[in-house]
Structure 1
Amino acid sequence: MRLLVLVLVAATLALAPFAVPWLRFVFIVALAAGFAALGVAILLRAGLISIGHALFYAVGAYVVAFMMRDLGVRDLALLIAASVVLSGVAGAIVGAFMVRYRAIFFAMLNLAVSMVVFSLLSKLYGLTGGSDGLRVATPTLFGSALDRGTFNTTFLYVVLGLFVVAGVLVDLYLRSPMGEALTAVHTNEVRLEYLGVSVWGVLLAAYVVSAMLAGLGGALAGIAIGHVVPEMAYWTESGHFVLVAVLGGIGGVAGPFIGSVFLEILRTFASGYAAESWNLVVGVALLLVIFFLPEGLYGLGARLFGRGGRK
């Protein structure tokens, strides 16, 4: 069932640009944010809200920029792999300290660390380009250099492939004992410790996985946009990921991606047809979803599918 949802979402996003070509870039950006939102959703299963995961989103993006500028690496696979690995390392370092805290302390400490990194990225002009950021050139794909238009067309399908693979792997992780323990941490972590399960280890593993997903999203966003800036680590970006995770729903791995695509399309149309009040349009739509769909868009689809199955 969950694998079927992933495939259906991927197929829809793959076919839609044939009818509306400009959706290609919108989908890539939305899916990039969806990876980071999926990482946030994993922590939400344990009752932890991170308002600082834009830190790892920025790490993934800047790894791509640094590797291109300083090491001359242009291969897409190497850039993505390095971003995921180094984001995971950063997640292990930061997470070893963060997972000792709960509730508002966890949220605010993540926020504080991300804002420190944002300040450093903004001030270190010689290294990061400061507030101007760094340019990201068009990578090579399987050793072939493509023009930007052809690359963007192919890149969507690469991102969709990563979406399916990451979705399957995360679903397997959530169904594993480590993943199932996340809900137990939220319910009664003391009892979990009595059973001999290390809550610290469970949460650290979840934090590293979430950081790797956020780093993957940042790398994809940097490559798609062709430019990385310190604002990718700003707290509003972290809030955006939390909003997307809640909007899409954490009942399934496809939820954050559905929420991200919905929000990006809504924002695109609102800014195009209601340029003076697009924030109002987006805000009202989000309020309606949050009030009337507490389980998110994924939960709505699950309920409709369930009813159809029973009928």
Structure 2
Amino acid sequence: MTKSLDRTELGLLLALPILIGLAFILPKWIVNYMQVSMGTGLVALGVMIQMRAGLVSFGQGLYFCIGGYAAGMAAKFWGITDLFLLLILGLVGAVLVSSILGILMRRYREIFYAMLSLALSMILFGLLSSTEELGSTDGFNLPTPTYLGWAPEGRAALLSLYIITSCLVIACALALHRFLQSPVGYVNEAIRENELRVEYLGTSAHRLVQITYMLAASVSAIGGVLWALALGHVDPEMTNWTTSGQFVFVAILSGIGNIAAPLIGTFILEIVRVYAVEISPNTWQMILGTVMLLTILFLPKGLWSLVSKMGNKQKSTDGDAAQSVGG
């Protein structure tokens, strides 16, 4: 029997035509930021599903970079420009690397997990920065993608990539939501609360952590491919600690209460960054830091907690009204 759609899934499905329609209404620069934020939003989703298991990855840029560079190298050295084939290559690269590193990562928790993930991402950063064939610290450009032999130009090329990005992001969000609602997703929360009890129940916490790690790597690589194609460029900064820190920033800023939260939080971060740079070009990081500090102080569960409070308040109001009518 097919599982019915819940409110989150319905909301995501309704968001897709809205996202596509906005591309024809909003200014080009806003649409561009929306497209870029959807790519990085997938990486933030990867961070979020690990946080559900009590794991904080400060090196998620590793797979963000693997996805982008896999697509870039395939285009640069093999002349592959088909978006779907580039996505497959980026995904395969992330799965292979995460399946190996996951054997190591699944043994660690808390600060050790965070620091080890950071160390692995910085190893890749060092390798790419010293590889002249890949542009060293400057990176290299990517060509305009094609779609199963179709090669649009001008505005059609921009709209095509935006629409496909929107569809892929919503599809990934739906899949991750189903994952969090699955037995594995619920056991991840149990691992966060008391891993020893999970082991006593006969479930391998190490195996489930590796599954979550690989899933987060896969969705992050997809985000890396989409981000790289949107900007037409890749460079080692994709796996630098500052980039990985940004994804953690988004997860904390938006909260982990709903799968849509990191996607919305990523766009908010992009807009805050734009205006912060405009207001204070030399100290814009202070503005982002202030936003982060205020969020932690007044919304410790993230911006999504505002939506949750509004929903709970509405339910309470409806319940009181029903009780009054019944009385």
Distance, in Å, in 2 between the alignment partners of 1:212 and 1:80 is 10
Among residues 29, 32, 43, which one is paired with 2:39 in the alignment?
A: 32
Residues 150, 274 of structure 1: alpha-carbon distance in 2 compared, 3 angstrom cutoff: farther
Distance, in Å, in 2 between the alignment partners of 1:9 and 1:277 is 35
Under a length normalisation based on structure 1, what TM-score does the superposition of the two structures give?
Answer: 0.95
Superposed CA deviations along residues 73-93 of structure 1, whole A, max 9, x for unmatched, are 111111112212221221111
Among residues 37, 52, 56, which one is paired with 2:63 in the alignment?
A: 56
Task: Identify the range of structure 1 (138-147 vs 274-283) with the bigger mean alpha-carbon deviation.
Answer: 274-283
Distance, in Å, in 1 between the alignment partners of 2:99 and 2:286 is 39
Distance, in Å, in 2 between the alignment partners of 1:8 and 1:237 is 30
SS at match of 1:30: helix
Q: CA deviation at 1:298?
A: 2.0
1:245 counterpart residue number: 251
Among residues 82, 86, 93, which one is paired with 2:100 in the alignment?
A: 93
Aligned length: 310
Distance, in Å, in 2 between the alignment partners of 1:237 and 1:99 is 23
Q: How does 1:151-300 map to 2 (within 5 A)?
A: 151-300=157-306
Residues 142, 70 of structure 1: alpha-carbon distance in 2 compared, 3 angstrom cutoff: same
Q: CA deviation at 1:148?
A: 4.7
Residues 120, 277 of structure 1: alpha-carbon distance in 2 compared, 3 angstrom cutoff: closer
Residues 175, 211 of structure 1: alpha-carbon distance in 2 compared, 3 angstrom cutoff: same
Q: Is the 8 A contact 1:40 1:241 kept in 2?
A: yes
Once superposed, what is the RMSD of the aligned Cα atoms? 1.6
SS at match of 2:303: helix
Pair member with larger Rg: 2
1:70 counterpart residue number: 77
Q: CA deviation at 1:43?
A: 0.8
Segments of structure 1 that go 5 or more residues without pairing to the other structure are none
Distance, in Å, in 2 between the alignment partners of 1:13 and 1:277 is 32
Distance, in Å, in 2 between the alignment partners of 1:285 and 1:148 is 37
Task: Identify the range of structure 1 (14-23 vs 264-273) with the bigger mean alpha-carbon deviation.
Answer: 14-23
Task: Identify the range of structure 1 (115-124 vs 273-282) with the bigger mean alpha-carbon deviation.
Answer: 273-282
Distance, in Å, in 2 between the alignment partners of 1:9 and 1:274 is 33
Distance, in Å, in 2 between the alignment partners of 1:70 and 1:259 is 36
Among residues 115, 121, 135, which one is paired with 1:114 in the alignment?
A: 121
Distance, in Å, in 2 between the alignment partners of 1:13 and 1:300 is 22
Give the aligned residue type for 2:311: F
Distance, in Å, in 2 between the alignment partners of 1:293 and 1:11 is 31
Does 1:21 find its partner at 2:28?
yes
Q: CA deviation at 1:304?
A: 1.2
Among residues 281, 284, 301, which one is paired with 2:307 in the alignment?
A: 301
Give the aligned residue type for 1:307: K
Superposed CA deviations along residues 28-67 of structure 1, whole A, max 9, x for unmatched, are 1111111011001111111111111101110000000111
What fraction of aligned residue pairs are identical, expressed as a percent?
Answer: 36
Does 1:102 find its partner at 2:109?
yes
2:322 counterpart residue number: none
SS at match of 1:24: helix
Distance, in Å, in 2 between the alignment partners of 1:224 and 1:297 is 27
Does 1:145 find its partner at 2:151?
yes
Q: Is the 8 A contact 2:249 2:292 kept in 1?
A: no
Task: Identify the range of structure 1 (180-189 vs 286-295) with the bigger mean alpha-carbon deviation.
Answer: 286-295
Distance, in Å, in 2 between the alignment partners of 1:5 and 1:275 is 37
1:46 counterpart residue number: 53
Q: Is the 8 A contact 1:60 1:218 kept in 2?
A: yes
Q: Is the 8 A contact 1:247 1:289 kept in 2?
A: yes
Q: Is the 8 A contact 2:295 2:302 kept in 1?
A: yes
Q: CA deviation at 1:281?
A: 2.8
